[in-house]
Every structure is written in C-alpha cells, then in structure tokens.
Structure 1
Amino acid sequence: MADGYNTTELSRRLGISAAAASHHATVLREAKLITTRREGKAVLHVLTPLGIALLEATGHIGQVGSALRRGRVRAADNSRARCGDGT
C-alpha cells in the first residue's frame, strides 16, 4: 500500500494478533507517532514526521516503518526544514 497499512496487514507483518495491532496503533496514534485515516472501508495507519524521526534516530525504520512512511516523506522533510536541526 502506497499510503500506509491497515491493521490486518500490520498484524500479519509484525506476527501479532489483529487485536494487538489495533491496540498498538491506538497507543502510537495517542503518542502522535502515526495518523489513522479511513479510505472507504479501510482504515490506514501512516507514520507522522515524529514517528519517522524516532524510527530513523533509533535505527528501527525497517520494512513496516518504510511502508508506513510512504506518503509522509514530504511532510517529514518539511518538518525537519522548519526545525532546522532534523528533529
């Protein structure tokens, strides 16, 4: 998916139950690390610029992070430019 993953795909890729993936998505959304949007019947989760920066800083961008960041790269780049220090 070019614009993030739904909860089922996240659970499959992470090897956890859909319920656990949903819970984790809620926690990440509350921490402003992902955004969630509805597209028809699908609910897609996408990393925020903060989420991308955290994963990159800790070296954990990985496959799921790379997929989640698609569609948010420009926003992350713009955010870093505004901050001036890459944070």
Structure 2
Amino acid sequence: MRSVIVLGGYGGFGARLSRRLAADGWAVLVAGRNAAAAERLAAELPEARPLVADRNDDLRPLLALHRPFLLVDAAGPFQGSGY
C-alpha cells in the first residue's frame, strides 16, 4: 500500500485531500502541528495515522522514518509559499 504524508491534512483543503486519498486506497499520514486535530481526522479514515509535523522544521528525519511515496503540503497560508 502506498503511503502519503499530507501536511495540513486536517485543515480545510487538506482534510478533503486526506479523505479522497484514503478512499482511493492510500495509507494517509494526517500531519500537522495540532496532534489532537490530526488524531480526530485519522480516526475517521481507513489506514490513516496522525503525525505531528511542522513544514517549517527539518522534515528529513520524518521522511526517513516513514518513507512515504508522496508528500503533499496542504498547510496554509499559501501566500508567499515557494515551490
């Protein structure tokens, strides 16, 4: 099963994306700074787990530990964000 980390995975856009990915068979790691919010959404989804992560931190250890197939940054605000 392919896994994906969705940063901001419990927010407005991220939650929609997390739900859709889970429905399509992805193992979703619902990630963000708010552990309780990540846990609530992950509990609703099949094969989902909560993950505390901040996109402003060094994500290399997190990526090495979980080895996701894909990382999606859905954490806002998006103004001023680079590629």
TM-score by length of 1: 0.31
Instruction: Report which structure shows greater RCO (CA 8 Å, sep ≥6).
Output: 2
Higher-Rg member (1/2): 1
Query: Per residue, is there more strand in 1 or in 2?
Result: 2
Query: Per residue, is there more helix in 1 or in 2?
Result: 1
TM-score by length of 2: 0.31
